């Protein structure tokens, strides 16, 4: 080969490779985030986690100067969307906004779950906590928790209560109520809150534990009567309703969370950045109005480490409850 031509070709090749290396280095050092972020909500649109995700995504997008796009990937009690995030690239551009179910309940309820919530996900921040409220139809002859307990003891299994499904918060609250009171009730699982409330209002159910968010409008309309809330403190939107603990059921606590997580392997600096932005978003007046004042939730905004500790504690707590109550997933 002609030597001058050979040297020219070598020079062009060296220049091209050098340019590619520089371009790659620039791409790697580009500040995060530099493109849209996807936030997966593993439930259908309209629920508490979905509403939370959309409110937070809008505010995070404004703070990060990139769009944060919510994607609903429902199915298998939240496990399909959660597994999709676990399998996504750990690059900070795919996040998970999930409630307690797929993180601390499904892993101890189902024999096989396609992910390990502790090993496969990195907590960013708990966004909020929410609780349930025991309600009966306004037309019910039952006038107190004590009357429900008395009838549940006198006629075991006659009183039916509904929930959003096996292992859901309403179901677990009902099982805890049964264990602490010594009464027996018949659990009827539904596919969501709406059909359970329809049957409750229609008299097919004696009571239900529904979220404060969905039950509050019906309580305010006097279509439902509330007896107690499931958490250790009274709900902001139902200040006159006592807790189950105040009503005499010591240690009764079914409080669940909605939180933001990322795939394991995501860089610590990205987790810190996302945590700071989430906490900042939760201090915004519009977010407080939407999720706390109107939504009946308690906003949190804690550290990644604190959220990780909560997940480990609740895996243990729900595991013990599910085992003791002999709850079986169908």
What pLDDT is stored for residue 45 in this prediction?
85
How far apart, in whole angstroms, are the C-alpha atoms of residue 97 and residue 70? 9
Using pLDDT thresholds of 50, 70 and 90, give the confidence band for residue 288.
Answer: very high
* Residue pLDDT, tens place only, 67-97: 999 999 988 889 999 999 999 999 999 999 9
Phi-psi region of 204 (alpha: psi -120 to 50; beta: other; left: phi over 0): alpha
Is pLDDT of 16 > 90?
A: no
* The pLDDT of residue 293: 86
Q: What is the pLDDT of residue 57?
A: 98
Which domains are seen in the chain, by residue range? 37-130+256-325 (3.40.190.150), 131-229 (3.40.190.10)
Q: How far apart are CA 173 and CA 230, in angstroms?
A: 7
pLDDT at 191: 81
CB-based contact 44:74 (threshold 8 Å): yes
Q: How far, in Å, CA of 9 to CA of 67, rounded?
A: 44
Return the half-sphere exposure (C-beta side, CA atoms, 13 A cut-off) of residue 230: 26
174-219 tens-digit pLDDT: 999 999 999 999 999 988 888 999 999 999 999 999 999 889 889 9
Model confidence at 24, pLDDT cuts 50, 70, 90, reads: very low
Query: What separation in angstroms does the CA of 219 have from each of 5, 18, 91, 227?
Result: 86, 69, 45, 11
Handedness of CA 104, 109, 115, 118 (dihedral sign): positive
Q: At what angle do helices 268-281 and 304-325 cross, to 10 degrees?
A: 80
User: What is the spatial distance between Cα 238 and Cα 289, in angstroms, rounded to a whole number?
Assistant: 16
Q: How many Cβ atoms sit within 10 Å of the Cβ of residue 56?
A: 27
Q: What's the chain's average pLDDT? A: 91
């Amino acid at each position: 080969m002609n030597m001058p031509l050979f040297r020219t070709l070598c020079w062009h090749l060296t220049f091209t490779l050098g340019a590619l290396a520089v371009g790659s280095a620039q791409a790697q050092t580009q500040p995060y985030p530099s493109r849209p972020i996807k936030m997966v909500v593993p439930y259908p649109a309209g629920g508490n986690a979905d509403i939370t995700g959309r409110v937070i995504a809008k505010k995070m997008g404004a703070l990060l100067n990139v769009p944060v796009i919510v994607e609903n990937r429902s199915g298998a009690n939240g496990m399909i969307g959660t597994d999709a995030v676990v399998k996504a690239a750990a690059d900070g551009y795919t996040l998970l906004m999930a409630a307690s179910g797929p993180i601390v309940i499904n892993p101890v309820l189902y024999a096989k779950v396609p992910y390990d919530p502790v090993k496969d996900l990195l907590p960013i921040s708990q966004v909020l906590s929410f609780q349930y409220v025991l309600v009966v139809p306004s037309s019910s002859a039952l006038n107190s928790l004590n009357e429900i307990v008395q009838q549940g003891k006198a006629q075991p299994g006659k009183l039916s209560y509904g929930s959003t499904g096996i292992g859901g918060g309403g179901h677990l609250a009902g099982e805890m109520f049964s264990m602490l009171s010594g009464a027996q009730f018949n659990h009827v699982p539904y596919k969501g809150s709406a059909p359970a409330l329809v049957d409750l209002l229609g008299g097919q159910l004696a009571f239900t534990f529904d979220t404060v968010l969905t039950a509050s409008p019906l309580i305010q309309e006097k279509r439902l009567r509330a007896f107690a809330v499931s958490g250790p403190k009274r709900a902001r939107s139902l200040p006159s309703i006592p807790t189950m603990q105040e009503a005499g059921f010591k240690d009764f606590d079914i409080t669940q969370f909605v939180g933001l997580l990322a795939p394991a392997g995501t860089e610590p600096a990205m987790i810190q950045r996302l945590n700071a932005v989430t906490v900042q978003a939760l201090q915004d007046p519009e977010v407080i109005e939407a999720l706390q004042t109107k939504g009946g939730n308690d906003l949190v905004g804690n550290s990644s480490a604190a959220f990780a500790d909560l997940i480990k504690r609740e895996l243990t707590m729900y595991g013990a409850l599910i085992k003791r109550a002999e709850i079986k997933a169908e």
